[in-house]
A and B are shown apart, each in its own frame.
Chain A
């Protein structure tokens, strides 16, 4: 038996069989609710992996608050308190529900992950996620250099296990929205290279759906190509996230956005999709809502894959695609844009890697010099000079680039935004999907 983890192997098997793996996010305070939630997801009508999302006290190492909440008001916890339950209880939970056909990922959001990674490994988690940049800059005030040091040690601890768990970058999801695709792609590849540098072999690279289907297709192609170039010889796959920003409020709007992401995952060649539910705009979803969202995303993805097969086997290049029994009205499929996302991401990547000897050291220096600069991110180690906007075609572009080696789009305004304008940018997808007539998903967007 080789040392490939169950998560990596499962996603590969699903991809070989032509199935998109769909995944939810879910975390409950109590063990029995967590167990029931995982079983419901396992039994969903979809190719699923399991998720255990940790609560924010555990993420912030406030063990006392997690323990107190677990004792006094467990239903009020916004996730699963891994350390408060303790490794033996979590190991038993995972032994009961996880398997080669249902591997489980533990999700956290911790800039200083060492003790959590150790506990996850001891409990037998199949996979986790994050990264020294993506779980540091948006998540508070821990200095980037400290996060890099802990993530280095954490990855090495995992790599020393007999079967190292799978690790996914969160760098393709920075701030959830309003981060231009080239930077998302560059960060995702850089974090995957960082994981590799510290001995992990089963990795995946994330990218979060933004505001323009064609641009997202171009971004996914760029991510796949750069990952292929920089991570040769490793098992890696691409994971797409359904839009993570301000979500539509209506049922039809959120379903269309979810359907759009499922089509994007298939068309963009992602092997896994992390979904959102229609509850997103309002609250944390229930188990039933998660299961329904997974089944829905899977059915859209199957229809899209079938349509692609038909088209490819069919005839002339460029012929209109036909979808058999689509769960949503047939949408106009976008063509990839040609914004030069691959070139821009490669420029950011190379400029970063020129600054030092290790990927970790390079990341720290590149942020200190503003070569990497995440728009609107308040972290003290982020230059916060770059800004993004949405252009007339509905695509996400740079309006200011600070010291980054990329140029802003000439058509975008560089003036500071007001609260009203920022709200318009942040609610772009909500307004687009809540209001738009079915069948005009991409509309003016190229």
Chain B
């Protein structure tokens, strides 16, 4: 479903690449996709230093941070970012997801174990969901899971005003990726 969502379900999102990933089209497309769904987007662009991502999240307190990376360093850089982010008390409950081409082996690489293990590692470190292009069903399936994840999120204003409650996904459909 890509119909517009109602105003009270509109999410304030931050989209970003990782510090050493220069890929751009993934971020351009993600932004349009989120806007098409009716969500508000701040796009931090590519090669964004961790500190800048953390700073933007502290300032904007978004409902969701979406990290997209396709250069194959998602494991290395994605882990570093989420550890730093979860160490900031104000961001400990922020919903954060990561997706794209996360490792350099790709989907039909040596075995299917790699990406399952990678997703588990990333979620254990603090991501709420992982959308790995190399996972079962490829990028399309990942995008469908991302859409389902978006629908399950409730903006923080909608929970209770002024509360520090995080926008919360129920047992995220994308969680296991």
Q: By the criterion CB–CB under 8 Å, are A378 and B27 in contact?
A: yes
Which of A56, A69, A138, A423 counts the most B-chain CB atoms under 10 A from its CB?
A56
Q: Give the segment of B70-78, B85-93, B159-167 that binds chain A.
A: B70-78
**B interface, size bucket:** 20 to 34
B176 interfacial contact with A, CB 8 Å: no
- Contact at B72–A284, with CB atoms within 8 Å? yes
Q: Given contacts A283-B104, A283-B105, is CB(A376)–CB(B47) below 8 Å? A: no
Residue B62 is within 8 A (CB to CB) of chain A in the complex: no
Contact status of A56 and B21, CB under 8 A, knowing A78-B73, A282-B108? yes
Helix, strand, loop or mixed for chain B's interface? loop
Q: Which residues of B in the span 102-125 have a Cβ within 8 Å of any Cβ on A?
A: 103-109
A60 contacts B29, C-beta separation under 8 Å: no
Which chain B positions have C-beta within 8 A of A77?
104
Are A140 and B76 touching (Cβ within 8 A)?
no
| Given A56-B21, A59-B20, A60-B20, A423-B29 contact (CB < 8 Å) | yes
Contacts of A71 in B (CB 8 A): none
Q: Is the CB of A284 within 8 A of B104?
A: yes
Known: A60-B19, A141-B47, A284-B72. A419 touches B32 (CB 8 A): yes
A36 interface residue (CB < 8 Å to B): no
Report the number of A-B residue pairs with Cβ-Cβ less than 8 Å: 92
Interface readout for A361-392 with B: 1 if CB under 8 Å, 0 if not?
00000000000000011110000000000000
CB of B101 within 8 A of CB of A73, answer no
Most A CB within 10 A of own CB, among B21, B35, B73: B73
- Known contacts A422-B29, A422-B32; A76 and B20 CB within 8 A of each other: no
Cβ-based interface call for A269 (8 A) = no
A417 within 8 A of B: yes
In the complex, the chain A residue whose C-beta lies closest to that of B72 is A78
Which residues in A have their C-beta under 8 angstroms from that of B47?
Answer: 60, 139-141
CA distance A176 to B24 in the complex (A): 10
Q: Are A376 and B28 in contact (CB under 8 A)?
A: yes
| Among A60, A141, A246, contact of B45 (Cβ-Cβ < 8 Å) | A141
Contact surface of A with B, Cβ cutoff 8 Å: 56-57, 59-60, 62, 65, 69, 73, 76-78, 109, 138-141, 175-177, 245-246, 279, 282-284, 376-379, 417-420, 422-423, 426
In the complex, 15 of the A-B residue pairs with CB atoms within 8 angstroms, ordered by the A residue number, are: A56-B20, A65-B20, A65-B76, A76-B103, A109-B22, A177-B25, A246-B25, A279-B106, A283-B101, A283-B106, A378-B28, A418-B36, A419-B29, A420-B36, A426-B29
Which B positions have Cβ atoms within 8 angstroms of A? 2, 19-22, 24-25, 27-29, 32-33, 35-36, 43, 45-48, 71-73, 75-77, 101, 103-109, 134
